[in-house]
Amino acid sequence: MSDRPTGLAPSRVVAVLGPTNTGKTHLAVERMLGHASGMIGLPLRLLAREIYERIVKRCGAAAVALITGEEKIVPPRARFFVCTVEAMPLERQVEFLAVDEIQLVADPERGHMFTQRLLHARGRFETMFLGAGTMAPLMRALIPDLEIVIRERLSTLSYDGSKKLTRLPRRSAIVAFSTERVYAIAELIRRQRGGAAVVMGSLSPRPATPRSNCSSPARSTFWWPPTPSAWG
């Protein structure tokens, strides 16, 4: 699915752009499931695992593959592939292909992989790139006949002023930007309120998945889940 063979009609290429919480990833998953086969590349292992489990519930485990840097679950007759962007098996032909957070083409460490996907990864019938609105000018310049869809935020994002950590509501997500800070916050909350789940972006899948499940509002028995990069 890298570059389409000569003689085939060009794949429909759509850029769905907008801020976070605009339903872009959900839209891509629904579009993928409307095709006979598909592949989606995601920026985080935990997000890939979450999407994989969601599709398994709808289509069954035999129809869905999960491929990340640390996990590889590939049933013999898998139709849908959920992957981290770097792990996408582009030698496989699928009808639909999507790449999430395409603005990471600008990332110093991972940008070359996202750029390769932007320029060459295509589904047979439909390709969808998801990302920030700032990508529109670059994508128009690089991709002929690109369709751009702008999504508006589904909820209001606002600043509510300074808050004391120990006075935040239960099931609040606290995001910190260093390992030391994450553990310091978690220890403070444990001492003051009795419990916190820590989810680190570098955790291996076995401990990360149950911890992220504990952070779900429906299943949480903890007060707060401090995390640096694992929330998607």
Domains of the chain: 12-150 (3.40.50.300), 165-227 (no CATH)
Comparing 21-25, 116-120, 227-231, the range with the smallest average pLDDT is: 227-231
Distance of alpha carbon 171 from alpha carbon 84, whole angstroms: 27
Tell me the three state secondary structure of residue 161: coil
Residue 164 confidence class, pLDDT cut points 50, 70, 90: confident
Of residues 71 and 216, which shows the higher confidence score? 71
Query: Which residues, 6 or more positions from 202, have their beta carbon under 8 angstroms from its beta carbon?
Result: none
For 109, other C-beta atoms within 10 Å of its C-beta total 7
- This prediction has a pTM of 0.74
pLDDT at 8: 57
> Is the separation of the CB atoms in 11 and 125 below 8 Å?
yes
> Is the separation of the CB atoms in 85 and 110 below 8 Å?
yes
Comparing 2-11, 129-138, 166-175, 218-227, the range with the smallest average pLDDT is: 218-227
Comparing 63-77, 144-158, 204-218, the range with the smallest average pLDDT is: 204-218
Helix (H) or strand (E) holding 56: helix 45-59
The share of the chain scoring above pLDDT 70, in percent, equals 81
Q: For residues 162, 165, 169 and 170, what is the CA-based torsion angle, rounded to 10 degrees? A: 160
Q: Is the pLDDT of residue 7 over 70?
A: no
Of residues 62 and 220, which shows the higher confidence score? 62
pLDDT at 223: 46
pLDDT at 78: 97
The CA-based angle 40-28-70, given to 5 degrees, is 25
pLDDT at 213: 52
Distance of alpha carbon 103 from alpha carbon 206, whole angstroms: 29
Q: 148 to each of 42, 115, 123, 221, how far by Cα in Å?
A: 20, 18, 17, 42
Q: Is the pLDDT of residue 224 over 80?
A: no
Q: Is the pLDDT of residue 215 over 70?
A: no
Tell me the three state secondary structure of residue 224: strand
Q: Per-residue pLDDT averaged across 63-88, rounded?
A: 96
Helix (H) or strand (E) holding 25: helix 24-33
Q: Per-residue pLDDT averaged across 71-81, rounded?
A: 97
Of residues 194 and 100, which shows the higher confidence score? 100
Helix (H) or strand (E) holding 175: strand 174-175
Q: 112 to each of 104, 108, 160, how far by Cα in Å?
A: 9, 8, 38
The share of the chain scoring above pLDDT 90, in percent, equals 57
Instruction: Tell the residue number behind the tokens 């389409």, with chain if given.
Output: 4
